[in-house]
Amino acid sequence: MKIRIAAIALLCIALMACGGENQTGQPETDTTGTAQSIQQTGTASATTTGESGGTLSSMTNEDKEFVTKAGMAGLAEVAHANLALQKAASADVKTFAQRMVTDHSKANAELAQLATTKGLALPTELAGEHQQTHEHLSGLSGAEFDKMYMTHMVTDHEKAVADFDKASTSSTDADLKAWAGKTLPTLQDHLRQAKEVAGKV
């Protein structure tokens, strides 16, 4: 009887010892794995948040709005101009349209790079009034297209010049302010040329 009790006691001790090893060993592996996972994830998140989140917080809502608005307008200028290269009847209109593609593609690329450093995403598709304008122009051709396209170019560049002029003086983000100031003279020249061509068609 004593031998049986002793054997049972030894068996219990052995089972407890095994259970203890499992409990001690298992969490160690899990904890290490979790720690590594958290460390890797945490580091990545912290870096991402530090770069984009920190910069985003330093930009005012007005600056963010300007970036989005300029991105959409630039996208529209290139889209409308490509349409003009296909549909325009006037050589002057086509020449103007080609300049729009060249200049605005360059400005769009610069803005995209700037937006990336600030953690902002630019529009990738036309929307709102720009989409409506594009659809309207798509249904026109020849002289009718030329007149309507150039009318839009004058109006669009008047708005752009006003927006960029304001951003070049009042933007609180130094990089955005510098880009707006550098791009403004080109837009002013676009407006001047748009008025000249519009007067011919």
pLDDT tens per residue across span 74-125: 999 999 999 999 999 999 999 999 999 999 999 999 999 999 999 999 999 9
Residues 27-38 pLDDT 10s: 443 433 333 333
- What pLDDT does residue 38 have? 33
Amino acid (one-letter) located at 31: T
For the chain, what is the mean pLDDT? Answer: 81
Whether the predicted model's global pTM rises above the 0.75 cut: no
- What pLDDT does residue 33 have? 39
Token digits of residue 182: 């550098």
- What pLDDT does residue 92 have? 98
Distance (Å, whole) CA 191 – CA 157? 5
Distance (Å, whole) CA 88 – CA 80? 11
All structural domains of the chain with their residue ranges = 1-58, 60-200
Distance (Å, whole) CA 160 – CA 188? 9
Assigned CATH topology for domain 60-200: Ferritin (1.20.1260)
- What pLDDT does residue 66 have? 97
